[in-house]
Amino acid sequence: MNDCVFCRIVAGEAPATKVYEDDLLCAFLDIRPVARGHTLIVPKRHATELEDLDADVGALVFRAGHRIALAMRRSSLAADGANLVLNDGRAAFQTVPHIHLHVIPRRHGDKLSFAKGFLLRRPHDPQSTADAIRTGLATLACQDDTEGFGTQEGMQA
């Protein structure tokens, strides 16, 4: 195993609050969230930057981001929208060299709390936050009758 922190999270060797995983992807809470629910989606197989990422896996990462953003709307996080952000490379301020998609829930009128969250990056209760997202995913699965993110054997973390 390399010394990549996200590879270690994927392997269960470093702590993280996972909200979803399947054969190809893993989603977990950001340790320094900009807002409650801030989630990172990573491919399980290490890729440092977009340059190294299989395009089909990249599409699945975005698909997962889409799904988690919808789950945030359907959960007690009561999101009205989300920022989906991927910083590709150090030139783009990528700080963890394992590609990841940020999904940050947004609410109408949250400009000030969002700016504060951006400065403070304080953790919120991770268990209740992850439960809320998992519940949103389950609600979504009931609505459209699908389990995972259309990758492979989807399962709840």
Q: Which of 46, 100, 102, 124 is catalytic?
A: 100
Q: How far is the CB of 147 from Zn ion (least distance, A)?
A: 26
CA distance 47 to 52: 5
Q: How far is the CB of 5 from ligand AMP (least distance, A)?
A: 5
Kindly give, in sequence order, each residue whose CB lies less than 8 Å from that of residue 63, ignoring residues fewer than 6 positions away. 149, 150, 151
Q: Which is nearer to ligand AMP, 35 or 74 (CB)?
A: 35
Q: Which is nearer to Zn ion, 94 or 139 (CB)?
A: 94
CA distance 94 to 148: 28
CA distance 79 to 93: 26
Residues lying near ligand AMP in the complex (CB under 6 A): 5, 16, 30-32, 40, 87, 93-96
Asked if residue 57 binds Zn ion (CB under 5 A), the reply is: no
- Where do the H-state alpha helices sit in the chain? 5-10, 55-73, 111-120, 126-144
Asked if residue 46 binds Zn ion (CB under 5 A), the reply is: yes
Residues that bind Zn ion (CB under 5 A): 4, 6-7, 46, 98
